[in-house]
Structure 1
């Protein structure tokens, strides 16, 4: 009964109090189609979160999805529309704003449909899905990757001038490398192998699978943890990456309880609405802390530009047309050098920003915008449907992996749950490259369990 009451209170806060709080910070008095569409996104995602908060199951992958929708596509867009103010310069007609909201709602509808279909698909093919669970972490391979990761990381650190440079602001650290490609390769080698090693060790320890050489593995894990704190710090790396490292480790370690869903939802809401927008202040010199109303922060801070970038993508498509998958091919073949593919597309965020005349082009491109720029409304329907299928299958596999310890899914699910904020915000070129790199290095520590 207590859990039901807490979920009810959460519903009231998410669907009524928070929107009203933001509305009260503006002078907007008219309730029109735009506000109705926007409120529908807020209310629907708020109700979904409230339902998840009452569940006994570990729904962390769905929780982070709906947190992103509620905060970035719900509250942030609500603030921007009410104040008629956006993080980047731009003017948008009512028709464009309404169309952007419809794109979001259409994507959510087909995401849910895909999730329903994914559940049926998993149940009907559960036997063929066992390969995800039968791929398990090898302690020996984990140590080997860790040793390799230490040496590679130390080489990168030495080549960039020593440990002190690990605490430079991100842009200064990037300037230490001659080209962007050099920076990306070195950053991957510096951070990901040792991060994958840490998560693999945590899974092994949590599930009590270290039977031999316990003290060696314990000391090795402590050293790996300290090394991760040094090299994956939030000063030199994007907050999304630091958040993925920190949150995925916590999700692996903490045992899921009856109240965990409610606690995690409250934690994410506080983190993404209150803490996140101010977490960048310490990264720049001489930046003064300025506490502002939530509506103002969400309409001025570039971290909440997801809705505006959907609107910008609509403008881009009006001018240039859809890419018919060209942007998606650029994502899939991110690893191919431009020397071999001179016309390889840039990230969708940068492509849209350049076309619309932005001087700063390192902008996001949320999953809905990526779908639309590639295939229009058909892309939104198809890609969000497939994403719903994927998330459901990953979720179901994770539920089963809780009884089959140290499997592939027991690594991928908590990591992707934490990483999903970055993945959904985009752009897809960067988020996909990070994701594939993590999966590649994790594949080096798995083995097939004999059944």
Structure 2
């Protein structure tokens, strides 16, 4: 993908002169450097998470609390865990003098940091459940369900790349705004109409 995102040629030039693609592939290191570069940081962050867990142990759901209770302010919950991306970033800074802590953290890492291999299976099952559920919503006659299911398909790129706290909180906000608020407005509008008809 780096070959195509960093190439200095138009689509027409790539079609007429395919050698430009090969030159770009070679210039950006080919496949051998893809897994250790920041262009594919998910792999590096998974390895950093494994390293973190080997040094500090599993969090046994503590990191997941940050995701599920993202709306609770730190002023009320001083011991609220940081997002997993920040946790791993801070670990890399402390242990390896890494440059910054604003890291992505893939769903695989999120499961692993909490429960190890069981967490990987758990996250996969939860994701599969929601994908199936939203596929059904996509086939619904309710336009709000269709919109939020379609949005999830796009948001999935953000959610899978991580970290989970940010991906989840941004989806919940959109879900409330696109689905829940219109449903509530519709419900109360119908209620007001019915009560005015009775009078």
Identify if the C-alpha distance between structure 1 residues 360 and 420 changes in structure 2 by more than 3 Å, giving closer, same or farther: same
Contact 2:112 2:120 in 1 (8 A): yes
Cα deviation code 1:165-184 (max 9, x no counterpart): xxxxxxxxxxxxxxxxxxxx
Cα deviation code 1:71-116 (max 9, x no counterpart): xxxxxxxxxxxxxxxxxxxxxxxxxxxxxxxxxxxxxxxxxxxxxx
Identify if the C-alpha distance between structure 1 residues 368 and 300 changes in structure 2 by more than 3 Å, giving closer, same or farther: closer
Residues in 1 aligned to 2:54 and 2:48: alpha-carbon distance in whole angstroms:
10
Residues in 1 aligned to 2:107 and 2:3: alpha-carbon distance in whole angstroms:
20
Helix, strand or coil for the counterpart of 2:31? helix
- Is 1:444 matched up with 2:181? yes
Residues in 2 aligned to 1:388 and 1:327: alpha-carbon distance in whole angstroms:
21
How much has 1:405 moved relative to structure 2?
4.7
Residues in 1 aligned to 2:64 and 2:166: alpha-carbon distance in whole angstroms:
12
Residues in 1 aligned to 2:58 and 2:36: alpha-carbon distance in whole angstroms:
28
Residues in 2 aligned to 1:405 and 1:439: alpha-carbon distance in whole angstroms:
14
- Is 1:410 matched up with 2:146? yes
Identify if the C-alpha distance between structure 1 residues 299 and 381 changes in structure 2 by more than 3 Å, giving closer, same or farther: closer
How much has 1:392 moved relative to structure 2?
1.3
How much has 1:324 moved relative to structure 2?
0.8
TM-score between both structures, scaled by the size of structure 2:
0.73
- Is 1:368 matched up with 2:108? yes
Residues in 1 aligned to 2:51 and 2:116: alpha-carbon distance in whole angstroms:
12
Q: List structure 1 runs of 4+ shifted beyond 4 angstroms.
A: none
- Is 1:302 matched up with 2:32? no
- Is 1:274 matched up with 2:4? yes
- Is 1:396 matched up with 2:133? no
RMSD: 2.5
- Is 1:333 matched up with 2:69? yes
How much has 1:273 moved relative to structure 2?
6.9
Please name the residue that 1:322 is paired with: 58
Residues in 2 aligned to 1:396 and 1:376: alpha-carbon distance in whole angstroms:
31
User: Structure 2: which 5+ runs fail to align?
Assistant: 8-23, 191-199
How much has 1:336 moved relative to structure 2?
1.4
Residues in 1 aligned to 2:111 and 2:3: alpha-carbon distance in whole angstroms:
26
Helix, strand or coil for the counterpart of 1:339? coil
Aligned residues: 163
How much has 1:296 moved relative to structure 2?
6.5
- Is 1:419 matched up with 2:155? yes
Residues in 2 aligned to 1:417 and 1:297: alpha-carbon distance in whole angstroms:
30
1:35-434 to structure 2, matched below 5 A, reads 274-275=4-5, 291=24, 292-293=27-28, 294-295=30-31, 298-299=34-35, 301-357=37-93, 358-399=98-139, 401=140, 404-406=141-143, 408-434=144-170
How much has 1:301 moved relative to structure 2?
4.5
Contact 2:52 2:91 in 1 (8 A): yes
How much has 1:386 moved relative to structure 2?
2.0
How much has 1:396 moved relative to structure 2?
2.5
Residues in 2 aligned to 1:418 and 1:339: alpha-carbon distance in whole angstroms:
33
TM-score between both structures, scaled by the size of structure 1:
0.34
How much has 1:318 moved relative to structure 2?
0.5
Helix, strand or coil for the counterpart of 2:80? coil
Residues in 2 aligned to 1:346 and 1:273: alpha-carbon distance in whole angstroms:
35
Cα deviation code 1:177-224 (max 9, x no counterpart): xxxxxxxxxxxxxxxxxxxxxxxxxxxxxxxxxxxxxxxxxxxxxxxx
